[in-house]
């Protein structure tokens, strides 16, 4: 089974159009979008869903390519239903967040919760584990669609399930299947979540709970994203954790060190041979 994986396009229309053409030209079986699909809110999100995201789904569905997607931490929850409505009539298109989709011998399981972080948008934020320290915040928390103001983010977030809790609640893989997890948050300690946005120098902002989950479960493969610049900072975009291959291709353009390019991975699931590519924007 041949897979094209990308993540963190943040509303880039040329990247999405190019990804569809690449998927069809490469005759892949599955395309996976790992999260942060939508443009930032100063753009017309509804127009993007209708005139960029929906046509992308139409193209892949017509080509017989399965498309798995999930919103990310920068995609406000208030647009989840709009994306679901836009994909409803296409039988090969599936929202994967907190769900399992079985294709042949592979079980694809998604999770789009992330560690709490400094930024204001908190729609999909969780503390990493019980008792985890609270990050210094850049401003008051925002949860789109919630009218009541959150007086204390610390009190609020400590009442929610942790990332560790959310991982435990994910659907189980079938017996003898090969589980493939799409987890927007990268694991700690593997060099896949190195950032230079918080404090001096590079900081590992990955999740210890995700690391522990992979180490214990040992799935066939995991896909990650979220920290765009990590592969640029370290040249590391894939690592093994025991028997598991973990892939985090990064993305260039939004919050990136180097220009605007489409970054994606092609991988043969049977052999787990993966190659990372960069595509330049059209002239």
Q: pTM for the complete prediction?
A: 0.95
Q: What is the mean pLDDT of residues 248-270?
A: 85
For residue 258, pLDDT beyond 70 = no
Start-to-end CA distance of the chain, whole Å, equals 33
For residue 146, pLDDT beyond 80 = no
Q: How confident is the model at residue 282 (pLDDT cuts 50, 70, 90)?
A: confident
Q: What is the mean pLDDT of residues 83-111?
A: 97
199: which residues sit within 8 A by CB, 6+ positions away? Answer: none
Looking at residue 192, the DSSP 8-state letter turns out to be S
CATH superfamily of 2-279: Metallo-dependent phosphatases (3.60.21.10)
Give per-residue pLDDT as tens, 187-222. 999 999 999 876 678 889 999 999 999 999 999 999
Structure tokens at 147: 């009218």
By the 8 A CB rule, do 143 and 150 touch? yes
Looking at residue 134, the DSSP 8-state letter turns out to be P
**Which candidate, 181, 248, 249, 184, places its Cα nearest to that of 215?**
181
For residue 150, pLDDT beyond 90 = no
- pLDDT at residue 254, as a whole number: 60
Give per-residue pLDDT as tens, 126-144. 999 999 988 788 778 888 8
For residue 256, pLDDT beyond 60 = no
For residue 124, pLDDT beyond 90 = yes
Q: What is the mean pLDDT of residues 105-133?
A: 92
Give per-residue pLDDT as tens, 17-69. 999 999 999 999 999 999 999 998 767 999 999 999 999 999 999 999 999 99
Q: What is the mean pLDDT of residues 102-114?
A: 97
Q: What percent of the chain has pLDDT over 70?
A: 95
Mean confidence (pLDDT) of the chain: 93
Q: What percent of the chain has pLDDT over 90?
A: 80
Distances (CA, A) of 85 to 1, 81, 88: 28, 6, 5
- pLDDT at residue 198, as a whole number: 66
Q: What is the mean pLDDT of residues 8-21?
A: 96
| Block residue for tokens 């025991």 | 242
Q: What is the mean pLDDT of residues 95-108?
A: 98
What would the DSSP string read from start to end of 214-252? HHHH--SEEE--S-TTHHHHHS--EEEETTEEEE----B
């Amino acid at each position: 089974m041949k897979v094209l994986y990308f993540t963190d396009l943040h509303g880039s229309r040329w990247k999405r159009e190019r990804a569809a053409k690449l998927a069809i030209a490469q005759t892949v079986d599955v395309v996976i979008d790992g999260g942060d699909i939508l443009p930032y809110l100063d753009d017309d999100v509804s127009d993007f869903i209708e005139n960029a995201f929906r046509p992308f789904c139409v193209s892949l569905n017509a080509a017989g390519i399965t498309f798995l997607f999930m919103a990310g931490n920068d995609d406000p929850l208030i647009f989840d239903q709009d994306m679901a409505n836009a994909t409803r009539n296409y039988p090969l298109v599936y929202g994967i967040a907190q769900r399992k989709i079985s294709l042949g011998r592979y079980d694809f399981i998604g999770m789009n919760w992330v560690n709490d972080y400094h930024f204001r948008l908190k729609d999909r934020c969780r503390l990493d584990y019980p008792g985890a320290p609270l990050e210094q915040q850049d401003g008051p928390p925002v949860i789109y669609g919630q009218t009541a103001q959150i007086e204390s983010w610390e009190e609020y977030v400590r009442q929610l399930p942790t990332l560790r809790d959310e991982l435990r609640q994910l659907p189980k893989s079938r017996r003898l299947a090969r589980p493939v997890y799409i987890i927007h948050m990268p694991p700690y300690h593997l060099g896949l979540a190195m950032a230079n946005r918080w404090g001096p120098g590079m900081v590992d902002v990955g999740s210890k709970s995700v690391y522990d989950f992979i180490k214990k479960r040992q799935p066939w493969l995991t896909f990650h994203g979220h920290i765009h610049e990590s592969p640029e900072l370290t040249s590391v975009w894939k690592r093994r954790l025991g028997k598991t291959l973990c892939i985090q291709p990064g993305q260039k353009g939004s919050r990136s060190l180097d220009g605007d390019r489409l970054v994606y991975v092609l991988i043969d699931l049977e052999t787990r041979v993966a190659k990372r590519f960069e595509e330049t924007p059209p002239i």
